[in-house]
Structure 1
Amino acid sequence: MSQLHWEDFTPGRAFEHGPRRLPRDEMIAFAAEFDPQPMHLDEAAARETMLGGLAASGWYVCCILMRMCVDAFLGQSASMGAPGVDEVKLLRPVRPDDELMFRATVLETRASKSRPDMGLVRFEFVMSDMQGRQAVVLITSLMIGRRQKGDAA
């Protein structure tokens, strides 16, 4: 299997994965363990919140995003991790049994100034429902190994 390196990521290139269904029992189990708020656990209590019904924890949706990212391309890349996440926007509630699509678009790339064996790739990750409505937008840079060592800038 060929592995994706920094040189393979060019601005505009996109990777997609999905759909993936988010089962009610999985959403509630995650919330019970990691984000036990009423809007994520109990339908009746959730109806009384601004979300108007049971909704997935944003952290759960971000975990699903990460899994879909690995399945779409990251698992076949020379990934070296990430220095952090720049932005996460939760744009609409994700409901039990929703199906989401994942799309990663390369925004820009740059060679590392201090590590000639890697470069950075800035991405926009988007999770959308089957009607194309965005649920989550995440902006991050990933550190990706280079096929050939470049000159440190």
Structure 2
Amino acid sequence: MKFNEFFVGQTFKTKSLEITKEDITRFAAEFDPQYMHLDEEKAKEGRFNGIIASGVQTLAVSFKLWIETGSYGDDVIAGTAFNNIKFIKPVYPDDVLYNMVEVIEVKEKKNEAGLVTVKFSTFNSRQELVFEGDLTVLVKK
């Protein structure tokens, strides 16, 4: 979509994606090797009662689901900011995540592009909010 096709209040729902235990441990082994993501026995003794996904993985999955809607298409130039990131609830193995994405700001630039800011609200299959964050990107007019 071109910059001029986005408007404040516009909403999108992404498809869903299941996060398996294997997804969690594979991601954590490479990018966030902490016990609550890798060591099932030790994680059971912690506050979450088992392995949970890394917050960074939850953010990455949320971003992936949004991009797969194709809303930006080839009109996106680059991301400029990811703000107000909140990891609200843990993501457990076999949780199914989806996003509700709302356009919260559009800002015209003098050149041939504008800034579009969207708010991610990522939910699990129990309709619990697990993640929020605001993404700003530069989009062609």
Whether TM-score is above 0.5 comes out as yes
Matches within 5 A, 1:72-91: 72-74=69-71, 76-91=73-88
2:95 is matched with: 98
AA partner of residue 123 (structure 1):
V
2:116 aligns with one of 104, 116, 121:
121
* Structure 1 unaligned regions, length at least 5: 147-153
1:138 is matched with: 133
Structure 2 CA distance for aligned equivalents of residues 66 and 122 of structure 1: 13
Whose strand proportion is higher, 1 or 2?
Answer: 2
2:45 aligns with one of 48, 51, 59:
48
Q: Could you tell me how far 1:80 is from its partner in structure 2? A: 1.1
TM-score of the pair, normalised by structure 2: 0.93
2:26 aligns with one of 23, 26, 29:
29
AA partner of residue 29 (structure 2):
A
Equivalenced residue count is 141
Identity of aligned residues (%): 26
SS of alignment partner, residue 106 of structure 1? strand
Structure 2 CA distance for aligned equivalents of residues 42 and 53 of structure 1: 9
Structure 2 CA distance for aligned equivalents of residues 26 and 140 of structure 1: 24
* Structure 2 unaligned regions, length at least 5: none
Matches within 5 A, 1:10-29: 10-29=7-26
Q: Could you tell me how far 1:24 is from its partner in structure 2? A: 1.0
Question: Deviation per CA, 1:2-50, whole angstroms, max 9, x where unpaired?
Answer: xx10011101111111211011111101101111100000221112222
TM superposition outliers: structure 1 runs of 4+ over 6 Å: none
TM-score of the pair, normalised by structure 1: 0.87
